[in-house]
Copies of this chain bind each other. A is one copy, B any other.
Amino acid sequence: MAKIRLGMVGGGKDAFIGAVHRIAARIDGQFDLVAGALSSTAEKSRDSGLALGLAADRCYGSFDEMAAAEAARPDGIEAVAIVTPNHVHAAAAKAFLARGIHVICDKPLTATLDQAADLAEAIGASKALFILTHNYTGYPMIRQARDMVASGQLGTIRVVQVEYPQDWLTEASEASGSKQAEWRTDPERSGAGGSTGDIGTHAHNLACFVTGLKVEKLAADLQSFVPGRRVDDNGHVLLRFEGGARGMLWCSQVAPGNENALRLRVYGEKGGLEWAQEDPNYLWFTPFGQPKRLLTRGGSGANPAAAAVSRTPGGHPEGYLEGFANIYAGAAEAIRAAQAGGRSAALDVLPGLEAGLQGMRFVDACVRSSRQDAAWVAL
């Protein structure tokens, strides 16, 4: 099967997430990166592109230029990965969607709700697919957890505890030259939410993905602990889900000792589940009144939902890149189906516009609630 021709916007030298997307696209051999507008200037973009083995004439100075040129080539890109800071997502995506090029876009959807609405319209008007890389939903044991909840193994869900602490912004690194810290703490480029937008959206998405529930209302108490910081670096959020489940969400970038400690716990009438991103091959399951069981990816307790996205047997740990690659694998499947005029069932679990909008509403609600002293606000 021919590989899908892929372009990339953003992800030049020193960008962490661009490299991740490229590896994720490569792992299963489904995509071939052939074009890029990798940096904000034509020169840098060309340097980055050549270093990645792109042809010189397919290293573009801007996403507009790239969209126009690639759409005109018979061997032009079929899909594009957008891995820029958040405020560029909408404009870039629109350029490709308008030309029927499938979009794989980093989260959160956009920097503002206005941009999100704008993008939503463009997605609606295009035949191309829009896929959002809420990559943590790609972990096999998360797919398993979702399936277990859906099939009733936990009974009605009562309590959802989700948290995402990090520590890399404990000090004012945005003031001392960290490029990553700089744009993520700049409300113009990142949006009104700091930790809420950067990682809270992942936590919110994961809780909803696994439980199949939507957050109805929330009450948020956001803080900027580091002096001079312009966005929140810690957020405490009470959650009320449709149907009566309750939850808590904590996101923080100032919690020393936490590297990337996304963690989800779900409790229902009949049992509980616990999962930690840093040890993603494990899922703890307790049927009420019985001993806790350690379900392992690829192991005897793995279900078909997990097996479908596993590449190695139990005990051969998979990680972040494989989870990310599962989003790309799903995208490849969906794109091939779309090209054949059909619709892939992969879209049922792939995050897209709807997940993106919910994420934007989550951040917006957090900020609104916090400004009202943690009053309840609807999403």
Contact = CB atoms under 8 A, between A and B. Distances in A.
Interface of A: 1-3, 16, 19-20, 22-23, 26-29, 53, 158-159, 161, 163, 166-167, 170-171, 219, 221, 223, 225, 234, 236, 238, 240, 246-248, 250, 252, 254-261, 265, 267-272, 274, 277-281, 284-296, 298-301, 311-322, 373-376
Contact of A271 (B20, B257, B293, B295): B257
A270 B26 CA distance: 40
A317 B19 contact: no
Contact of A279 (B312, B317, B373): B317
A320 B20 CA distance: 17
Copies per complex of this chain: 4
13 contacts: A159-B234, A161-B163, A167-B288, A219-B219, A219-B374, A221-B238, A256-B270, A259-B298, A260-B316, A261-B315, A292-B293, A293-B294, A316-B319
Contacts of A250: 161, 248
B159 A311 contact: no
A248 B248 contact: yes
Nearest to A312: B320
A254 B278 contact: no
Given A259-B296, A291-B299, 7 more contacts: A166-B315, A219-B221, A278-B281, A290-B301, A291-B300, A312-B320, A317-B317
Contacts of A265: 255
B320 A317 contact: yes
Contacts of A29: 22, 26, 53
B301 A260 contact: no
Nearest to A269: B170
A158 B312 contact: no
A112 B96 CA distance: 58
Q: Most chain-B CB neighbours within 10 Å: which of A223, A248, A256, A314? A: A256
Given A234-B159, A312-B320, A321-B311, A171 B288 contact: yes
Given A26-B27, A252-B267, A257 B284 contact: yes
Those 3 A-B pairs whose CB atoms lie nearest each other, nearest first: A260-B315, A259-B315, A257-B286
Given A221-B240, A317-B317, A320-B317, A23 B311 contact: yes
Contact of A236 (B247, B269, B318): B247
Given A23-B311, A248-B236, A225 B259 contact: no
Contacts of A290: 300-301
Contacts of A257: 267, 271-272, 274, 284-286, 292
A259 B299 contact: yes
